[in-house]
């Protein structure tokens, strides 16, 4: 530290820039892989700009802040290094060891200037003297986004996109398979309302599903408009407001998802609604009565439309209780009332109805993948370990189907579901086997976790985002996709966006998570209540880090993409206090 203080600012600038260049050079082989190398280029460019600004106009942050900024910069660097561990194998080779060291040092030099700039330069104060008629902004955005997506539904993708997950939802609501909470029961009930109404009014399944997608489009458009109206009201610059409007309105994944029957879509919209309403209530933007209604709707959707949402809402409520117990007692009363109601609906009521919860194998995705890697790599097992594992896994099949990027082949082709009772009766023994294998083969466990989760905390990867088509079914549901001029224009736009590598950061899950964590950290350090907005999103991210079945499933992370623009904007700007 003393040595660093004796180095001149100019020399420090040159040294850090050199380490950033070395960082990009070490990571350069990723440019010809399935990794989003452009994300690292973007981070390095942002760091250089922030570092140059700090060099020209130096500002100091409090000493206690620096510890946190350095700490999170180290975590960022470690994430990048671990996420790309294959570049440095084997570490016993000196060149690889040096590359790993440069990657770690360079990553810290990239992360710290950005966090320091955020800590000392934001929020920017905004003026709102000319921000009149917010209702017009809401309705203008709502109608524009609705029009874009409704045209897409009826002229391009009628009656929408339905996959095997959609099939399970429809089969349950049509009474062909029993209800369960693997496909969240309350999302299924939401779909059922519109499907039954559509069947009663129009008489065809195509029209019934299209009616649900119409409702989903309007809900998404309303949530987008509510968030953008809020940014308008607090004085966010028009260029930033326009950028956010374009992201919400014409980004291809938002258009495609608006007509896709997945639980993840309304869940993500509910997360945005919840975060926006919470901000408005805490910062006293608009009428509290209306904001409370939207807050309740967002909280209910967040809690009921995906099984991990209730946990995110619950932890957020506990954090808010600690920080807002004196200033927001009414909001906390509403929040805990909603939490209690949602808990009753999710657990006691479903239990009374005989509706099962998520299968325990889903919760064990990461441990199952770690054990499978040990087996697939032919590591030595004791006779006892082999005997125990053979009760729940087809070991030969594990070797054949193991995929480091997803546990699904193990779950669907190697797990012995007929012996799950034996597993549940011997949980202690299986925990012992799991821990013993981890102690013997820690590298396999670590690599299995990295490969299974890296998409949610590293730069980004090419992986499917949206799809098209209607699954084979017996309900008369069929794709009637458009082929005319309008369909051609939409399809051309989709192809154009997919080809532009410069837009890769917009579909990088890891980048959105980094942005959310950074905003939450800086807001917390500056004691701004905006840090509360990041809590439910970080809980969702941690849930993916410890339980995802697929390494980079975009729809699982869709809440991050809808909330990140709003969270970044309210972190960057705040209404000037008169």
Q: Measured between alpha carbons, how far is 371 from 260 in angstroms, rounded to an integer?
A: 35
Q: What is the pLDDT of residue 577?
A: 61
What Å distances lie between residue 445 and 61, 261, 345, 396, 451, CA to CA? 39, 35, 37, 20, 10
Alpha-carbon distances, residue 234 vs 457, 469, 527, 569 (angstroms): 31, 41, 19, 10
pLDDT for 133: 86
In three-state secondary structure terms, 518 is helix
Structural contact between residues 213 and 169, judged by C-beta atoms closer than 8 angstroms? no
Nearest alpha-carbon partner for 44 in 17, 69, 79:
17
For residue 550, list its beta bridge partners: 406
Residues 6+ apart with CB under 8 A from 10: 55
Neighbours of 339 (CB within 10 A): 19
Indicate the DSSP class of residue 125.
Answer: E
Taking the chain (578 residues) in runs of 10, the rounded mean pLDDT of each run is: 67 94 97 95 97 92 94 97 96 93 97 97 81 90 98 97 94 92 93 97 96 98 98 94 94 97 98 98 94 98 95 97 93 97 96 85 91 96 95 94 95 84 91 96 97 96 93 92 94 93 94 98 96 98 95 97 97 81
Give, in degrees to the nearest 5, the angle at Cα 470 between 158 and 346: 100
pLDDT for the residue numbered 578 = 52
Segment (H or E) for 574:
strand 573-575
First to last CA, the chain: 42
3-state secondary structure of 478: coil
E strand map for 58-142: 124-126
User: Beta strand 124-126 with 573-575: parallel, antiparallel or unpaired?
Assistant: parallel
Give, for 575, the enclosing helix (H) or strand (E): strand 573-575
Half-sphere exposure of 553 (CA within 13 A, CB side): 16
Structure tokens at 134: 């917010």
Joined together, the tokens standing for residue 411 give 């779950």
Q: Is 360 helix (H, G, I), strand (E, B) or coil?
A: helix
pLDDT recorded at residue 1:
45
Distances (CA, A) of 251 to 311, 362, 482: 29, 31, 20
Cα angle 25-501-267, degrees, rounded to a multiple of 5:
110
């Amino acid at each position: 530290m003393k040595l660093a203080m004796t180095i001149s600012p100019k020399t420090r600038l040159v040294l850090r820039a050199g380490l950033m260049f070395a960082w990009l050079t070490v990571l350069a082989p990723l440019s010809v892989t399935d990794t989003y190398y452009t994300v690292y280029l973007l981070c390095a460019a942002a760091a250089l700009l922030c570092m140059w600004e700090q060099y020209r106009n130096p500002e100091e942050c409090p000493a206690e802040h620096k510890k946190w900024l350095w700490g999170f910069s180290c975590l960022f660097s470690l994430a990048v290094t671990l996420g790309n561990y294959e570049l440095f194998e084997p570490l016993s080779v000196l060149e690889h060891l040096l590359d790993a060291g440069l990657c770690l040092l360079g990553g810290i030099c990239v992360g710290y200037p950005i966090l320091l700039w955020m800590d000392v330069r934001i929020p920017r104060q905004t003026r709102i003297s000319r921000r009149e008629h917010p209702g017009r902004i809401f309705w203008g955005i709502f109608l524009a986004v609705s029009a874009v997506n409704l045209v897409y539904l009826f002229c391009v993708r009628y009656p929408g996109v339905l996959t095997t997950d959609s099939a399970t939802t429809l089969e349950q609501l049509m009474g062909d398979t029993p209800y369960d909470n693997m496909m969240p029961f309350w999302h299924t009930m939401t779909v059922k309302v519109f499907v039954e109404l559509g069947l009663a009014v129009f008489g065809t399944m195509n029209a019934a599903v299209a009616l649900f997608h119409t409702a989903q489009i309007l809900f998404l458009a309303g949530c987008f408009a509510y968030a953008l109206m809020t940014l308008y009201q607090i004085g966010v610059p028009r260029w930033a407001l326009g950028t956010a409007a374009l992201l919400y309105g014409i980004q291809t994944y938002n258009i495609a998802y608006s007509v896709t029957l997945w639980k993840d879509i309304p869940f993500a919209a509910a997360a945005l609604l919840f975060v926006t309403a919470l901000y408005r209530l805490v910062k006293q933007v608009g009428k509290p009565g209306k904001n409370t209604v939207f807050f309740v709707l967002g909280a209910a959707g967040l809690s009921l439309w995906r099984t991990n949402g209730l946990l995110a809402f619950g932890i957020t409520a506990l954090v808010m209780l600690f920080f807002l117990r004196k200033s927001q007692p009414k909001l906390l009363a509403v929040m805990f009332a909603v939490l209690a109601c949602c808990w009753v609906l999710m657990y006691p009521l479903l239990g009374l109805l005989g509706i099962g919860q998520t299968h325990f194998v889903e919760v064990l995705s990461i441990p199952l993948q770690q054990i499978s890697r040990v087996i697939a790599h032919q590591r030595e097992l004791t006779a006892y370990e082999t005997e125990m594992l053979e009760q729940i896994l087809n070991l030969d099949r594990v070797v054949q189907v193991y995929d480091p990027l997803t546990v699904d082949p193990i779950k669907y082709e190697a797990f012995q579901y007929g012996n799950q009772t034996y597993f549940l009766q011997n949980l202690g023994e299986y925990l012992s086997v799991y821990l013993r294998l981890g102690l013997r083969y820690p590298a396999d466990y670590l690599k299995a976790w990295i490969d299974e989760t890296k998409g949610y905390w590293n730069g980004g990867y090419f992986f499917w985002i949206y799809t098209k088509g209607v699954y084979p079914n017996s309900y008369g549901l069929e794709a009637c996709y458009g082929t005319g001029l309008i369909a051609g224009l939409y399809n051309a736009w989709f192809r154009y966006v997919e080809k532009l590598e410069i837009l890769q950061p917009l579909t990088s899950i890891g980048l959105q998570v980094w942005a959310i964590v950074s905003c939450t950290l800086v807001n917390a350090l500056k004691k701004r209540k905006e840090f509360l907005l990041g809590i439910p999103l970080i809980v969702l991210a941690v849930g993916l880090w410890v339980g995802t079945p697929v390494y980079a499933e975009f729809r699982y992370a869709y809440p991050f993409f809808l909330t990140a623009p709003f969270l970044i904007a309210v972190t960057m700007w705040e209404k000037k206090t008169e």
